[in-house]
């Protein structure tokens, strides 16, 4: 029943986006609050506690600002696009599963087993292509393929984090990109090349650092047999790459043609593409259990995400225009006028301090995106977007409470604190320094 409520909320939100009926906005906000209340009893203890605190705090601040019910309504409605995004995006994994692409990826990685550098490049490269559309599911799926290979924890700890975080700076299927560009009113088509640049920078730095690390710590991985990459698997890998490129190109084309919100476009494509695959009878039979699993398992498992995203969004909206937020933005403006590097480092430190205690990036970076004015900082909107997304990458990787960190920690057996600072600290530092230097020229 709760799955139908969440999916119905997504449908009503998309309808309201096109119909622009005020009463529909109130309806979808009521549905969102019911979904939040339903998630509260099923979420993990820490997300439930943190979500309740952030939601209550946000509502109290908004009420004290004098906006009342209308302000709370706007705060909840503003974060709903991201809730719809994380709910509907997993539907894209269904066509990929029934097409046999994942099996081909598994065989490719097994073929590279005796070559640690190439295996690492294979892991990070695979995540570079899969993560933009599958999010955390890409790490889970990839780990299922290679967990029986008993790889050294260093490969999974480094490879999973580097490969996954490349998507945080450019994929429209990610909350990070969608939220920042949405709040800064930056078209995805104008930003994508810059975001891809940051993504490729992280990927290259990660692979170069691993090559040096592997020289000092030689890895011996035993393979039981030589694996041949058959022609059909090579074809599947090419099809997978083509699918990702076609998907992103379609998003860009629709945005240019219609000027619709990229989040709405992504939600529509996530729902429509599986329907196209279901036209073929054979696909329909294979998709049926996967759709049931999406309804009965995937959507109900989003309790933590709904709690954290909705409450963090409400808090970020409520902080906008408060005396505290105005002081922070004034302080950052002074730093920006003195030195871009001081400003960038201050932004990163503020977000890291907030996320390191468990508060989601949406609250910290969302508040900054809504509060900061690029023109007053002496920079462009794209430059500010790049800085905030680079900060999102660093804070996600370093925070021991991030969903990514917790998942990789479980797979690799390395604690969340060590995973960020010790295992990947050098990579994140180099990417941050080079990234800030590049942004300083663009900004």
Per-residue pLDDT of 18-47, as tens digits, reads: 998 889 999 999 999 999 998 888 888 888
| pLDDT score of 166 | 93
Give the span between the Cα atoms of 84 and 408, in whole angstroms: 25
pLDDT of 340 above 80: yes
Q: What is the pLDDT of residue 226?
A: 55
The pLDDT of residue 385 is above 90: yes
Weakest-pLDDT range from 177-181, 375-379, 386-390, 403-407: 403-407
Per-residue pLDDT band for 162 (boundaries 50, 70, 90) equals very high
pLDDT in tens, 293-318: 888 888 888 888 888 889 988 998 89
pLDDT band at 222 (very low <50, low <70, confident <90, very high): low
pLDDT at 370 over 70: yes
Residue 1 has pLDDT above 80, yes or no: no
Confidence bin at 227 (pLDDT 50/70/90): low
For range 320-340, the mean pLDDT: 89
Q: Has residue 266 got a pLDDT over 80?
A: yes
> Does residue 355 surpass a pLDDT of 60?
yes
- Listing DSSP states for 392-419 in one string gives HHHHHHH-TTSHHHHHHHHHH---HHII
For the chain, the domains span: 93-260+273-280
Measured CA to CA, the distance from residue 182 to residue 177 in angstroms comes to 8
Name the more confident of 119 and 406: 119
Task: Compute CA distances 297 → 2, 3, 90, 389, whole Å.
Answer: 11, 9, 12, 30
User: Averaged over 204-231, what is the pLDDT?
Assistant: 77
Question: pLDDT grade, residue 248 (50/70/90)?
Answer: confident
What tokens appear for 288 in the block? 């049926």
Q: What does the alpha-carbon distance between residue 300 and residue 228 come to, in Å, rounded to a whole number?
A: 40
Looking at residue 216, what is its pLDDT?
85
Residue 209 has pLDDT above 90, yes or no: yes
For the residues 325-345, what does the mean pLDDT come to?
91
Instruction: Please state the pTM of the whole predicted model.
Output: 0.86
Of all residues in the chain, the percent with pLDDT exceeding 70 is 97
Nearest to 251 by CA among 331, 177, 148: 177
pLDDT at 402: 82
Instruction: Tell which wins on pLDDT, 208 or 129.
Output: 208
| C-alpha closest to that of 304 among 19, 51, 85 | 51
Distance CA 219, CA 421 (A): 22
Q: Which of 97, 54, 50 is nearest to 75 (CA)?
A: 54
Pick the closest to residue 176 from 125, 227, 136, 213 (CA basis): 136
Instruction: For residue 202, name the pLDDT band (cuts at 50, 70, 90).
Output: very high
Tokens of 96: 């990929």
Give the closest residue to 104 by CA, choosing from 223, 246, 235, 282: 235
CA–CA gap between residue 173 and residue 416 (Å, rounded): 25
Sequence-separated (6 or more) residues with CB below 8 Å from residue 206: 124, 158, 162, 163, 427
Does residue 136 surpass a pLDDT of 80?
A: no
The pLDDT value recorded for residue 229 is 67
Q: What's the pLDDT score for residue 279?
A: 86
- Closest Cα partner for 309 from 86, 118, 46? 86
Residues contacting 333, CB < 8 A, separation 6+: 376, 377
- Residue 47: the pLDDT is 83
CA 58 to chain centre: 23
Contact between 240 and 101 (Cβ < 8 Å): yes
Mean predicted lDDT score pLDDT of the chain: 87
Give the percent of the chain with pLDDT over 90: 34
Long-range residue pairs from 102-107, CB within 8 A, at least 24 positions apart, any chain? 102/141, 102/145, 103/233, 103/236, 104/232, 104/233, 104/234, 104/236, 104/237, 104/240, 105/130, 105/142, 105/145, 105/237, 105/240, 106/145, 106/146, 107/227, 107/229, 107/230, 107/233
Q: Which residue has the tokens 């292509």?
A: 129
Ranked by mean pLDDT, the top range of 4-18, 110-124, 144-158, 217-231 is: 4-18
Cβ proximity of 398 and 352 under 8 Å: yes
Among the listed residues 294, 300, 291, the one whose alpha carbon sits nearest the alpha carbon of residue 35: 300
The owner of tokens 């099923």 is 42
């Amino acid at each position: 029943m709760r799955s139908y409520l969440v999916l119905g909320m997504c449908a009503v939100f998309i309808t309201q986006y096109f119909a622009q009926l005020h009463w529909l906005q109130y309806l979808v906000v009521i549905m969102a609050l019911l979904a939040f209340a339903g998630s509260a009893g099923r979420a993990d203890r820490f997300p439930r506690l943190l979500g309740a605190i952030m939601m209550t705090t946000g509502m109290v601040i908004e009420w004290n600002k004098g906006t009342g019910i209308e302000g709370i309504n706007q705060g909840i409605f503003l974060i709903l696009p991201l809730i719809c995004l994380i709910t509907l995006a997993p539907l894209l994994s269904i066509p990929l599963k029934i097409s046999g692409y994942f099996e081909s990826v598994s065989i490719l990685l097994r073929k590279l087993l005796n070559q640690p550098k190439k295996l690492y490049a294979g892991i990070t490269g695979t995540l570079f292509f899969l993560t933009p559309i599958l999010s955390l599911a890409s790490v889970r799926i990839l780990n299922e393929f290679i967990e029986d290979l008993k790889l050294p924890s260093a490969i999974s700890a480094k490879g999973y984090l580097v490969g996954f975080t490349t998507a945080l700076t450019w994929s429209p299927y990610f909350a990070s990109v969608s939220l920042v560009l949405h709040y800064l009113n930056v078209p995805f088509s104008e930003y994508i090349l810059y975001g891809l640049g940051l993504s490729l920078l992280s990927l290259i730095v990660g692979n170069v650092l691993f090559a040096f690390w592997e020289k000092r710590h030689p890895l011996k991985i035993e393979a039981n047999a030589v694996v041949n990459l058959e022609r059909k698997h090579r074809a599947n890998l090419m099809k997978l790459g083509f699918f990702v490129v076609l998907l992103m190109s379609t998003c860009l084309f629709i945005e240019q043609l219609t000027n619709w919100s990229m989040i709405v476009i992504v939600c529509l494509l996530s729902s429509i593409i599986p329907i196209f695959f279901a036209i073929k009878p054979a696909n329909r039979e294979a998709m049926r259990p996967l759709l049931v699993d999406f309804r009965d398992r995937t959507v109900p498992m989003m309790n933590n995400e709904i709690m954290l995203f909705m409450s963090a969004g409400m808090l970020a909206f409520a902080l906008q225009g408060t005396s505290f937020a105005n002081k922070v933005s004034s302080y950052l403006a002074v730093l920006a006028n003195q030195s871009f590097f001081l400003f960038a480092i201050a932004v990163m430190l503020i977000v890291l301090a907030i996320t390191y205690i468990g508060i989601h990036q949406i609250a910290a970076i969302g508040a900054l995106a809504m509060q900061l004015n690029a023109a007053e900082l002496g920079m462009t909107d794209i430059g500010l977007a790049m800085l905030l997304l680079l900060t999102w990458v660093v804070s996600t990787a370093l925070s021991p409470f991030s969903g990514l960190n917790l998942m990789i920690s479980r797979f690799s057996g390395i604690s969340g604190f060590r995973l960020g600072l010790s295992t990947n600290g050098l990579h994140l530092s180099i990417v941050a320094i080079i990234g800030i230097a590049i942004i300083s020229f663009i900004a």
